[in-house]
Structure 1
C-alpha cells in the first residue's frame, strides 16, 4: 500500500470505529460506501466492463468497488474486523459476471441463463447461499430464468476468496451477461433493470438469512437492509423533474374559463347545439419542458426502486405535456386515453348497475343551499385546523371567476369558484375530499424530503380520487345523488370514447338517467373538456380499487405519506422499512368523525358503493 492508501485506510478505520457513514471515492471508479454499520459488505473487484454487476453492488447500503485484489483485501479486512466486533458475525458477497452467455441459442424459446454460486466460512454462509438460490429461483421472470450451479472446486471463486481472506464467511455470485446484445456493446435496457433488481433483492435475502442464522441482527424484513440515504444524484433529479411538473397546471389548462356563458348559450339553443369552450392560453413551452424532462439523468441513483419511480414519472409528465399540446385537436382523446386508460368493461358494468339500481332524485332529504361565502369559511376553518397540527400545512384559498361551480386543488392551493352553490350537507364531504385527501397528501408528501411524493407518483390520481370519495362516505356525505354522478361520469366517458358528441351525451344523461339539464351539462363539460378526457372515469375506478384493498385487509396508512398509486403500496412499505420515508405528519380529520370507525369497518367487511350511499 502507498502512503496515500495508508491514510485512506486510517480514515476508514476511524469512521468505522465511530459507526459513521462512509462514502469515499478513491480514484478510477473505486468507492467504499457504508451508510450505517451492517454485518455485510458487497464487493466487485476489477471487471469494470461488468455493468450489471457494478449496478447491483452500488445499489446496496454497504459496498466496495475496487480494481485490484490488494486494495480489496486491505479494505475488506478493515470493514470485516469492525463489523464482526460490532455484530459478532460478518459476511462478504462477491458479485461478478461470467465471460459470456453460454446457454444462449437461436431456439424458439428463451433458454435459462447460467448462474454460479459458491460459499465459504461455515453453515451460516451456506444458509445464505440457499436463501439466495431460493429467492432467485422464485422470482417471476419475463425473459430468462437462472440455471444455478456450483462451480468445480478448481474454479471455485469462494475458495479462492477464502484463501485470500481465511476465516471470512463469503458468498460468491457469478451470472451470465444476458443483458448484453450479442456481438454488440449495446444493452437490453429492460432486461438489464430486471437482472439488477432481482439479484439485489436476492442478495439482501441472503444477508438476512445469514443475520438470522448468526443472530447478528434482528430484522423485520430483508428490505430493512437496504439503503437509508439518497445520493446527491437523486436529489438533483427530483428537483429537476419537479421543476417540469410545476411548470404547468394540467387541470387548469384543460378547464374551460367560460362555463357560465357556455351554459347560457347551450340552454338558449334548446340543448341542441354543442357549446364552444374557451381555455387559458398555454403558459408552458411544451418542447422546452420535454427537453428539460429527458435531460434529467436517472443512471446514477444507485437504487433500482427509485430509478423505476422517477422513470415512470418522466413518462407520465411526457404524456401530460403531449396532451396539453394536443388540446382541442383529434389527437387529444388518444393522449387522454394513454394517460387515464380506457373505460374497461368491468368498470362500465359497475357504473351501469349503480344507475339501474338507484333512482334519480332519491337522497337523504332536502338540504339548504350553501353559497361561496359559506364554503370558503368552512374551508378556511378546516385548513386552519390542519395548520394548527402541522405548521408545514400552508395551503392557500383562492376565489376564482374562471372556474365552473365547485372546488378543486392545484398543488398547495384550494381553488373555489365564485359561482359555487351546493347543498349545505355536502360541504363537509366536499372539503374532506379536497382538503383531507388532496391537500393533506400534498403537504405530507412535501415532508418526505423528495418532491416526487407531493407532486405524485405516476398513476396516483386513481387512488387519490378513490380515497377522496371514501372520505365522503366516512363523514356521511355519500348520497345517492353523488354516487349516481360518479357512475354517470364513467358512462359518459365510455360514450365519448365510442364517438358520441356533447349533445348526444347530454341528452342521454337527461333522458336515460334523470339528471337535470344543468347537472348533465356540468357533467358533460368535464368529459368533453379539451376535446374529450377520460379522467372522470377514475373516481369510480379508484373507489373500487380502494374498497378491494380494504376488503383484502390492506391498511390505509401508507396512502397518507404522499400521493401514491395502489401499485406503489409495496414500494412505500419498502422505502418506509428502509427508513427513507417518514410517517405522515398529519392524518385526515375525517378519520376522527364519530361514525368513521364504524363505516371503515363496513368497508373492510366488503361494503359495495350502493351500500355506501345508505350509510
Structure 2
C-alpha cells in the first residue's frame, strides 16, 4: 500500500483491510487491521531513539513521524473511519520523559482530560502499567488530570474541540527510559527486551479495557488486540532460518556410523573400556553457520513474540 492519502487509507479500513504506509520525513503508519486505538510517537527534532520507537512497533496500530509533520488531517480521517466501526477511538501519544537517575524505578505519567474519560479505564491503565517492572523495581505511575496532552515543546495532536467532535479519547503517556544508561544513553539490550514485552502487555490490557468501556468492540482477551499479520521482515528472517536448517541434517551428523561395532567392542571389554565412535565427514563449517545465524537481524522483527 503506497498511497498515504487519507481517503485511500479510509477506503482500505472500511473494507476491513490493514494499512502500512510511509509518511513524510521518514515516518510510518501501520494498522494491522481496523482497531479502536492508535499509538503515536513524534520524533523530537534532531533526535532518534530506536529503543523508544520499538515500544510502539510491537503493537498492532501505531504511527511514528517527525515532530514537524502535520498529522491532523490524517488523524481526523482515521478517527472518523474507526468511529463508524467501533463507536469510539483511543488516541494515545507516547513520549520520553527525562531520563531517570541511576537505579531509579521506571516512571509513567498518564495525561488525561479533566472530564470525559471513564474512571474504570484510567484505573485499568494504571494497574496494567504497575506491572511494567525493570531491574526488579516496581514502577511509579502518576495520573495527571487536565494535563496538556503533548510532549514538552510540542502542540497537542488534536485540540480538545476536535477530539470531542470526533468522539476521540485522547490520552498521553510519558515514559522514562529506564532501559538506558543514564550517562551514556546506550540501551541495555536485555533490559529493553523485557521492558518492551511488559509494556506491550500493559498497553494491550489498557486497550482491552477501553474497548469494553467506550466502544462496541468486545474482545474476549487482550491478546486479541495484538498483531496478526506477519511482517515482510519476519518472513525474510524465517526464510533465512529455514535455509540454514535445510543446509545440514542434524541427526545424520550426530549419529555414529559404527554404532553396532562400537557396542560389540564395549561388550567385549566387559563394559568397562571406552570405545571410539566414528561420524560422517562434516559437510558444513559450524563456525561459518553460527556466524550466519547470529547475523540474522532478529531485533528488526516488530512482534516481540516472533523475535523471541
TM-score, normalised by the number of residues in structure 2: 0.87
Distance 1:146 1:95 in 2: 17
State the match for 2:14 in structure 1. 17
Q: Give me the whole-angstrom Cα distance separating, in 1, the residues matched to 2:106 and 2:290.
A: 38
TM-score (norm 1): 0.45
Superposed CA offset, 1:366-422 (max 9, x none): xxxxxxxxxxxxxxxxxxxxxxxxxxxxxxxxxxxxxxxxxxxxxxxxxxxxxxxxx
Question: How far, CA to CA, are the matches of 1:51 and 1:127 in structure 2?
Answer: 32
Question: Which structure exhibits the higher relative contact order, with contacts defined as CA atoms closer than 8 Å and separated by 6 or more residues?
Answer: 2
Q: Provide the residue aligned with 1:86 in structure 2.
A: 85
Q: Name the residue aligned to 2:63.
A: 64
What is the Cα deviation at residue 92 of structure 1?
Answer: 0.8
Residue 162 of structure 1 and its aligned partner are, at CA, apart by: 5.6
Write the mapping of 1:268-283 to structure 2, written as runs, cut at 5 A. 268-283=268-283
Where does residue 541 of structure 1 map in the other structure? none
Give the aligned partner of residue 43 of structure 2: 46
Q: 1:69 to 1:271 in 2, by over 3 A?
A: closer
1:145 aligned residue: 138
Flag the 1:23–1:156 CA change in 2: closer, same or farther, 3 A. closer
Residue 293 (str. 1) matches residue 293 (str. 2): yes
Distance 1:27 1:67 in 2: 8
Does the residue aligned with 1:23 lie in a helix, a strand or coil? strand
Q: Is structure 2 residue 159 aligned with structure 1 residue 163?
A: yes
State the distance in 1 between where 2:99 and 2:214 align.
36
Cα distance in 1 for partners of 2:185, 2:132 equals: 27
Partner of 2:229 in structure 1? 229
Secondary structure (helix, strand or coil) at the match of 1:196 reads: helix
Residues 43-98 of structure 1 show CA distances to partners (whole Å, capped at 9, x for unaligned) of 11233523333112211111111224663222111111000011111111111111
Q: Does 1:35 align with 2:29?
A: no
Q: Is the CA contact 2:51–2:187 (under 8 Å) kept in the aligned structure 1?
A: no
Q: Quick one: distance in 2 between partners of 1:191 and 1:218?
A: 33
SS in 2 for 1:183: coil
8 Å CA contact 1:45–1:72 kept in 2: the answer is no
| Aligned mates of 2:104, 2:273 — CA distance in 1 | 61
Written as runs of structure 1 = structure 2, the 5 A alignment for 1:135-534 is 135-139=128-132, 141-151=134-144, 153=146, 155-157=148-150, 160-161=156-157, 163=159, 165-167=162-164, 168-308=168-308
Contact 2:112–2:146 under 8 Å retained in 1: no
Report if aligned partners of 2:112, 2:145 keep a CA contact under 8 Å in 1: no
CA distance 1:267–1:46, shift in 2 (3 Å): closer
CA shift at 1:40, angstroms? 1.0
Q: Give yes or no for contact 2:13–2:33 (8 Å, CA) kept in 1.
A: no
Aligned equivalents of 1:21 and 1:232: distance in 2?
Answer: 14
Task: Give ranges in structure 1 of 5+ residues lacking alignment.
Answer: 1-5, 309-615
Q: Assess, with a 3 A threshold, how the Cα gap between structure 1 residues 268 and 53 changes in structure 2: closer, same or farther.
A: closer
